[in-house]
């Protein structure tokens, strides 16, 4: 191989590796990003140590929907993973462990397994209304009301430290566990 051929091959490899790095960084920054779950607030849907994939594009093209699981940044610059319960304009209330949105009862099938496993059959989600928790009648425009699936151990919109989550603080939706392999797959 001549020196010119070696130089051309080096530049070809350099360009290929450079493009691969740029492509990977682009995908990670703009489309999909891994996030590690910390804490028990989303059990059993997501467990501590689960590495989930955050879809940054899908919801930006359409909208975030009620019951989507999202990852968002808090005032303390931490990332939280929670479920959207209330969208803009919704009135949220819990009474006797039943979710009411705009006065209508909603089933939460993603909580059934966890509720059934509780030894003390007390309320899983304590009674509250939006105005009691945050002083608002409805979820403000451009914001969401979120709760962890493990309602007894979740810091979420019921806390004044979190409150309503602004749409511009949402990184994307989470619905796929990448690691550990025994939990690999779609979760909702």
Would you name the residues annotated as active-site residues? 41, 82
DSSP label of 94: E
DSSP label of 143: E
Cis peptide leading into residue 141 (ω within 30°): no
185: three-class secondary structure by DSSP: strand
The H-or-E segment that residue 80 falls in is: strand 79-86
Tokens, residue 169: 């603080």
Cα 163 to its chain centre, rounded Å, is 15
CA distances from 148 to 4, 51, 111, 160, 175 (A): 61, 17, 10, 15, 14
């Amino acid at each position: 191989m001549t020196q010119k051929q070696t130089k051309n091959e080096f530049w070809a490899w350099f360009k290929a590796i450079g493009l691969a790095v740029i492509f990977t960084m682009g995908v990670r920054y703009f489309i999909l990003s891994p996030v590690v779950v910390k804490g028990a607030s989303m059990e059993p849907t997501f467990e501590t140590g689960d590495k989930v994939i955050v879809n940054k594009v899908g919801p930006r093209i359409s909208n975030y929907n009620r019951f989507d699981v999202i990852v968002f940044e808090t005032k303390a610059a931490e990332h939280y993973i929670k479920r959207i319960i209330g969208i803009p304009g919704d009135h949220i209330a819990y009474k006797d462990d039943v979710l009411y949105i705009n006065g209508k009862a909603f089933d939460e099938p993603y909580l059934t397994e966890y509720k059934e496993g509780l030894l003390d059959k007390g309320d899983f989600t304590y009674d509250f209304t939006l105005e009691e928790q945050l002083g608002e009648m409805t979820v403000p425009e451009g914001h969401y009301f979120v709760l962890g699936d493990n309602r007894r151990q979740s810091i979420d919109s019921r806390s004044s430290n979190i409150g309503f989550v602004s749409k511009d603080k949402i990184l994307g939706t989470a619905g796929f566990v990448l690691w550990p392999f025994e939990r690999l797959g779609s979760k909702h």
